[in-house]
Structure 1
Amino acid sequence: MISYGLKQRLSSIAVYIILGLMAFISIFPFLWMVVGATNSTSDIINGKMSFGSALLLNATTFFTQVNVPLIFWNSAKITIIATVLTLLISSLAGYGFEIFASRFRERLYTLMLLTLMIPFAALMIPLFMLMGKFGLINTHIAVVLPTIASAFIIFYFRQSTKAFPHELRDAARVDGLKEWQIFLLIYMPVMRSTYAAAFIIVFMTIWNSYLWPLVVLQSNDTKTITLVISSLGSAYYPDYGAVMIGTVLATIPTLFVFFAMQRQFVEGMLGSVK
């Protein structure tokens, strides 16, 4: 008969094996991408899983075919502007939905959440026609505008605001602060973990966005890194080594943001307030 201590040890081993397997499955695409960046196109097609000697050639090909500073600038500009505006507007909406009571609040909030059920593909044609009427096609503004009022981020901020100490708001009102001052000086610093988690989610979503930028950005001078990598991969004779170089470079900013803010991300997702 197996002792209790042995059962606990076997259970722990099984858990670690499962977690290790899931971690490997999660990391494998990135590992394969890094390995592929050092191999030639033929080696990548053949599924070679060892490091090669074509890294310099692949990098030279990619930097020769692509205006790297321009496409990274385009992606960074769109992502930073859209992320800041999304956090500001969506947090204001989430704060308002939770703090200010009204007769129609819950109905309006429910209608907003129902928009999450609408697939973006159904909205592309109306959005494209709207941007065309305002003359915004082939501009970065057309990419930013549809993202700045995110129903999911509004929902996330409202749920997090439930943990916001209302005593702080009442004390600030007694001290004579106006509502916008309470939001900027009290709410935002206290909810910094929530903002950090939302920042990572929004940043990664917008940086990796593909479908809508593909529709509205029509010239090479306005395209983002995801569109350029896609065009390289869809060429008649694609150079997969160069594509892997571009993919690695496109992944670095999101990795940097995540690892720089991972502690705040965990705190924000757990709903902690400081």
Structure 2
Amino acid sequence: MAKTKTVFTYIFLSAAAFISIFPFLWMLVSSTNSSVDVTQGRLLPGSFLGENLNKLINQVDILTALGNSAKISITTTVLALLISSLAGYGFEVYKSKAKDVVFNILLLSMMIPFAALMIPLYRMFGSITNFVPAIGIDTMAAVVIPTFATAFLIFFFRQSSKMFPKDLLEAGRMDGLSELGLFFRVYMPTMKTTYAAAAIITFMSSWNNYLWPLIVLQTPENQTIPLLISNLGSSYSPDYGVIMIAVVISTLPTALVFFVMQKHFVAGMVGSVK
């Protein structure tokens, strides 16, 4: 009976794994086929990989789009880790009733859909454009600023900070460290798995961000990789082989970041749940 249960468990898990990974396999196979083969549902690798790649390079400036996405994602990730971890650390280490009220209000902001914030944000950055063009409409700063500190990341770091040994802070204070010194020299090295998990979440979210960049970035020179792929698919007769090779290229950075930091990601997520 136990063996039968084990067999059915493995069959179920194998089927679930196949269903989960099939879209990625189909994407890889489709990038080697022509547009006609993709629309016909061909599931075998073809010989059009080089041709699709040449078409992609000739049709669009994918390197510029990748560079723009990289700049936005890296900047957002670095700023988000610094600001959100400082906030989460402060909420947990320096407790008071007033801070708890502020934190609860911060959590309530997670219930507001981004669609409800788009128009106020756009009007705000439109007004800023007249005074400080460097952070106004059609700039990378306008994409980064609304996303480098989120309620979720602050909550994530506060929950993780509950597991942080407070004795280290007392020892650091006895050694003469300032409060900022405690944060940078004691807290950050100790919580590296939490930072790794937050970095993966933030980088992937920023890299795949589509709606806000679509609204605020108005020139082709500033478009990110999701916008470029969307433009490829919105033509009168889209070449699905070219679209698939673009999707594969856009997936590589996030996949690389995840697999490099996978162990730290799991450890950071488990620590935050505890």
Give me the TM-score of the superposition, normalised by structure 2.
Answer: 0.95
Q: 1:34 maps to what in 2?
A: 28
Unmatched tracts of structure 2, length 5 or more = 130-135
Q: Which moved more, 1:49-58 or 1:9-18?
A: 9-18
Q: What letter corresponds to residue 181 of structure 1 in structure 2?
A: G
- Deviation string, structure 1 residues 160-180 (Cα, Å, up to 9, x no partner): 000000000010011110110
Q: 2:254 maps to what in 1?
A: 254
Q: 1:89 maps to what in 2?
A: 83
Q: Distance in 1 between matches of 2:258 and 2:16?
A: 19
Q: Distance in 2 between matches of 1:263 and 1:132?
A: 42
Shift of 1:69: 1.8
Q: Distance in 2 between matches of 1:65 and 1:218?
A: 19
Pairing partner for 2:64 from 67, 70, 87: 70
Q: Secondary structure at the match of 1:163?
A: coil
Are the equivalent residues in 1 in contact too, given 2:196–2:268 (CA < 8 A)?
Answer: yes
Q: What letter corresponds to residue 198 of structure 1 in structure 2?
A: A
Q: 1:169 maps to what in 2?
A: 169
Identity, % of aligned pairs? 53
Q: What letter corresponds to residue 154 of structure 1 in structure 2?
A: I
For 1:72-221, what aligned pairs fall within 5 Å after superposition?
A: 72-135=66-129, 136-221=136-221
Q: What letter corresponds to residue 43 of structure 1 in structure 2?
A: D
Are the equivalent residues in 1 in contact too, given 2:35–2:239 (CA < 8 A)?
Answer: yes
Give me the TM-score of the superposition, normalised by structure 1.
Answer: 0.95
Asked if residue 240 in structure 1 is aligned to residue 240 in structure 2, the reply is yes
Instruction: Figure out how many residues of one structure are paired with residues of the other and give that number.
Output: 267
- Deviation string, structure 1 residues 61-103 (Cα, Å, up to 9, x no partner): 1010111221111010000000100011000110011011122
Q: 2:3 maps to what in 1?
A: 9
Q: Which moved more, 1:23-32 or 1:218-227?
A: 23-32
- Deviation string, structure 1 residues 121-143 (Cα, Å, up to 9, x no partner): 00000000011111110000000
Q: Distance in 1 between matches of 2:2 and 2:100?
A: 48
Pairing partner for 2:12 from 7, 18, 28: 18
Q: Distance in 1 between matches of 2:86 and 2:179?
A: 11
Unmatched tracts of structure 1, length 5 or more = 1-6
